[in-house]
Amino acid sequence: MSLTIGGGPLAADAPKTVNYTVDSPRHSLFMEPFPRRVRAEIGGRTVLDSDRGYLVHETNLLPVLYVPEEDIRQGVLHPSDHTTHCPYKGDATYRHVKVGERVVDNAVWSYPQPKDEAYWLRGLVALYWDAADAWYDEGERVYGHLLDPYHRVDTRRSSTIVRVSVGDQVVALSANPVVLSETGLPNRYYLPPDDVRRELLTPSTTRTYCPYKGGASYWNIRIGDREIADAAWTIPHPLKEGQDVRDHFCFLHDEVAIDLERA
């Protein structure tokens, strides 16, 4: 996905189908302004509020938001002895965040003296995503991480016939799937619920969350005494990019065969 993961131009597995070379170390950094206001809350209080943020893209990592230190609420940062070293960015120092009686250890880091090739990090700080209780991109709460501007999700109605089977047992058959294309990932076919043999599915307790599509609920396939766990998922309350696959079933498992036939 994006610039730095899944075959992107700055990923470790960068594509060969280009007419240029990137004169950079194998591990690349790229920083660009983030165009919207971002806020983070801990204990019901805003600890980060910035419309001057930057996304730092780094090979094999998701983009990370850095903001000017002045955009962290005054009085919440407290010294820490913790340090780490990044061979690409330099030595990082950490600070605790204290809100009321609550302390989140080593929640904020920065590079006071970054390496020369990353000089632009000087004066910026980052807050661990999991350190905050809630994040907001403008007025919308976001989960997982900020959306990468180079990551896309597209859906299209398809006439491909999709057959899902376990051995000789057909679990689903659809001539009206929705194909979902997501940056850096193979196409996934989402099947209307009426085209799925629901009597062969049982709900799973597994839940996952995609910042682009929304929360997914998983399903097991049960055929006789055989059960294949988490063989399919649905997105019952999708985000904007996932609206076209609401309540559709997508199958993916090593024990499940998915056959495609062009109509």
For residue 183, the one-letter residue type is T
pTM of the full predicted structure?
0.84
Do domains 29-142 and 153-261 share one topology? The answer is yes
CA distance 252 to 244: 19
Q: What is the pLDDT of residue 18?
A: 79
CA distance 68 to 51: 10
Confidence of residue 39 (pLDDT cuts 50, 70, 90): very high
Comparison of pLDDT for 13 and 39, the residue scoring more: 39
Residue 7 has pLDDT above 90, yes or no: no
Q: What is the pLDDT of residue 25?
A: 61
For residues 200-213, give the mean pLDDT.
Answer: 96
Query: Starting at the edge strand that comes first in sequence, how are the strands of the sheet with 140-142 ordered?
Result: 45-50, 38-42, 134-137, 140-142
Per-residue pLDDT of 48-87, as tens digits, reads 999 999 999 998 888 999 999 999 999 999 999 999 999 9
Q: Is the dihedral of CA 68, 73, 75, 76 positive or negative?
A: negative
CA distance 72 to 95: 12
Helices (H), strands (E): how many in the chain? 0, 21
Confidence of residue 16 (pLDDT cuts 50, 70, 90): confident
The answer to whether residues 72 and 47 touch, using CB atoms and an 8 Å cutoff, is yes
Q: What is the pLDDT of residue 21?
A: 73
The answer to whether residues 201 and 232 touch, using CB atoms and an 8 Å cutoff, is yes
Residue 21 CB neighbour total at 10 angstroms: 6
Give, in order, the Cα–Cα distances in Å from 147 to each of 14, 37, 135, 214. 21, 13, 12, 12
Q: Among the CATH numbers 2.170.150.40, 3.30.70.3270, 1.10.540.10, 3.20.20.140, which is that of 29-142?
A: 2.170.150.40
**Closest residue by Cα to residue 251 from 224, 219, 227:** 219
In CATH, which superfamily holds the domain spanning 153-261?
Domain of unknown function (DUF427) (2.170.150.40)
The answer to whether residues 196 and 221 touch, using CB atoms and an 8 Å cutoff, is no
Break the chain into its structural domains and give their ranges.
29-142, 153-261
Per-residue pLDDT of 214-246, as tens digits, reads 999 999 999 999 999 999 999 999 999 999 999
The structure tokens 């990932």 sit at 185
For residue 240, the one-letter residue type is K
Name the average pLDDT for the chain. 94
The answer to whether residues 64 and 126 touch, using CB atoms and an 8 Å cutoff, is yes
Q: What is the pLDDT of residue 23?
A: 66
Q: What is the pLDDT of residue 4?
A: 79
